[in-house]
Amino acid sequence: MLGSRRPRRRVACAAAVLGMLLAGVTAGRAATPAAAATPHRVLFDNTKAETAGNADWIIGTSQPDPLGQDATPSAENDWTGALSAWGVGLQKTGDYALKTLPSGNTITYGTSSALDLKNFDTFVLPEPNVLLSAAEKTAVMKFVQNGGGLFLISDHTGADRNNDGNDAVEVINDLMTDNSVDSTDPFGFSVDTLSISTDNPKAITSTTDPVINGSFGKVGGSIIRSGTTATLKPADNSAVKGLVYRTGYSGNSGAFFATSTFGSGRVAFWGDSSPIDDGTGQSGNTLYDGWNDPAGTNAPLALNATEWLSGATGGGGGGGTCTAAQLLGNPGFESGGTTWSASSGVITNDTGEPARTGTYKAWLGGYGSAHTDTLSQAVNIPTGCAATLSLYLHIDTAETTTTTAYDTLKVQVLNSGGSVLSTLGTYSNLNAASGYALKSFNLGAYAGQSVTVKLTGTEGSTLQTSFVVDDTSVSVS
């Protein structure tokens, strides 16, 4: 419903509380966030024939540092590679530091090499076509076990691009079944030996899964243009979860995109390389623009998954344990103006805007005059934890423009001194819609820190916009 223009008589509520945290982001990254204090470090592999045949599974030809080709990329063609859209999409946020492990190198963990997995949060294996050595498999498994994120991307069986007798299906299955760390189905899935020519798999219905609902956008599905699926084995690893399924499949069969955990790290699996192919790359390759294929939401899926994997630890596979918990006090505001620090009248049971659940919510704005409201709460994120900020947001407005953001809501993370570490997102009168929408933000970069989650609603001089927030959480695992 459209919130009435509220008089300034809203019930005073708020207690001055602690520090500073959390700068908001829109589900689709409408605003480019400020760089995180410690960027998420992602290493893309190019040692396993990722450019053999017609493939070009690299983020850029400048290796190991893609910034050597263009230090401030704004479009996928600023870097050369079929995965350049993926790389540029991460680089533009300011929250990621990307590298490539060039051909001729060895995958290591725990050495002095600058490209050692110990120095990264996430390792991407984009359709590997060469079996990992015994030492490399040990390195990868220990990396995940100690808190790293592993992104495995397969292709259809028989896609042996370098003609060495092994395809991505065999390489990934070999990693999981023949390593010195744990060969007893460690991730809870196996890659199917299938060649599925075409399908448009759909995502599961979820409002809470961080990959489906990540800050890069809502995932509705993906595409198969010659790929495979995975069989899930929750009896071996209860954390395994199918997120996108081949048409007609569900449960433990036909999972096209799946996630799992191992030790204190995280794993994601994708059954085809076509969705990550942006159609651009080095000359001589036959590429396909699956990244922008309207039959799937492939870009948000790749980017959200990278974000989730990179939040597995605050220290690049550095280890640590974490007890699952929800850290915010009074998350649904039902205790009124307690725990939170808020402007007068923000935490309210005013019936002009309904709560999502219960009777109380946080209502920022809604005056129709120049006005600023704030809402914040400090939180300590344990070392070694993945952390996600979630909130439900409803926006309604009396503004009629379709082009100008007169009124805004910022979600930010602040340090203990009050300085903004990151603006997770910005919403405005242009985002008005009926009902509440879930917004989720990765706080993994702030593990081991005390930060403040802060929302700031600012209205212009005329016509109200209401930013209504309910059912918040900072969940760690």
Q: Which residues make beta-bridge pairs with 414?
A: 420, 452
User: Length of the chain, please?
Assistant: 477
With a cut of 60, say whether residue 128 has pLDDT above it: yes
- Give the mean model confidence (pLDDT) for residues 170-198: 96
Q: What is the pLDDT of residue 38?
A: 57
Give the integer Cα–Cα distance in Å for 33 and 92.
9
* CA angle 335–418–122, rounded 5-degree value: 90
- Indicate the SS3 state at residue 353: coil
The H or E element that residue 136 is part of is helix 134-145
Residues 6+ apart with CB under 8 A from 235: none
Give the integer Cα–Cα distance in Å for 384 and 147.
7
Q: Give the tens place of pLDDT for each residue, 296-347.
A: 999 999 999 999 999 843 333 433 456 778 999 999 999 999 999 999 999 9
- Indicate the SS3 state at residue 373: strand
| DSSP secondary structure string for all residues of 279-332 | S--STT----B-TT-TTS-HHHHHHHHHHHHHTS-SSSS-------EE--SSTT
With a cut of 80, say whether residue 211 has pLDDT above it: yes
Residues 6+ apart with CB under 8 A from 177: 183, 185, 190
Q: What is the pLDDT of residue 313?
A: 36
- Give the mean model confidence (pLDDT) for residues 112-141: 96
Residues 6+ apart with CB under 8 A from 383: 314, 315, 320, 447, 448
Q: What is the pLDDT of residue 213?
A: 92
Which of 429, 436, 419 lies closest to 457 in space, CA to CA?
429
Looking up tokens 């189905």 gives: 185
- Give the mean model confidence (pLDDT) for residues 28-56: 74
Q: Give the tens place of pLDDT for each residue, 420-473.
A: 988 888 999 999 999 999 888 878 778 888 899 999 999 999 999 999 999 999
Give the integer Cα–Cα distance in Å for 239 and 95.
27
CB-CB contact of 3 with 397 (8 Å): no
Give the integer Cα–Cα distance in Å for 431 and 238.
38
Q: What is the pLDDT of residue 33?
A: 38
Radius of gyration of the chain (CA): 23
What does DSSP assign to residue 352?
T
- Give the mean model confidence (pLDDT) for residues 84-98: 95
CB-CB contact of 455 with 423 (8 Å): no
pTM of model > 0.75: no
For the chain, report the end-to-end CA distance as a whole number of angstroms. 36
Q: What is the pLDDT of residue 1?
A: 45
| DSSP secondary structure string for all residues of 142-204 | HHHHTT-EEEEE---TT--TT-SS--HHHHHHHHHHS-SS--S-TTSEEE----B--B--EEP
Q: What is the pLDDT of residue 34?
A: 39
- Give the mean model confidence (pLDDT) for residues 386-402: 92
- Indicate the SS3 state at residue 385: coil
Instruction: Return the C-alpha torsion angle 403, 407, 411, 417, nearest 10.
Output: 130
Q: Which residues make beta-bridge pairs with 171?
A: none
Q: What is the mean pLDDT of the chain?
A: 88
Q: What is the pLDDT of residue 446?
A: 84
Q: Which residue has the higher pLDDT, 309 or 22?
A: 309
In percent, the amount of the chain with pLDDT more than 90 equals 75
With a cut of 50, say whether residue 369 has pLDDT above it: yes
Place 28 in a pLDDT band, splitting at 50, 70 and 90.
Answer: very low
Q: Give the tens place of pLDDT for each residue, 149-169.
A: 999 999 999 999 999 999 999
With a cut of 80, say whether residue 207 has pLDDT above it: yes
What does DSSP assign to residue 248?
T
Residues 6+ apart with CB under 8 A from 165: none
Q: What is the pLDDT of residue 322?
A: 63
In degrees rounded to 5, what are phi and psi of residue 449?
-125, 155
Residues 6+ apart with CB under 8 A from 269: 152, 153, 154, 172, 187, 189, 191, 230, 255, 257, 258, 259, 260
Q: What is the pLDDT of residue 16?
A: 31
Distances from the Cα of 136 to the Cα of 64, 140, 154, 254, 314, angstroms: 19, 6, 18, 29, 23
Looking up tokens 């299955």 gives: 173
Joined tokens for residue 401: 């423009």
- Give the mean model confidence (pLDDT) for residues 410-417: 92
The H or E element that residue 473 is part of is strand 465-476
Q: What is the pLDDT of residue 324?
A: 75
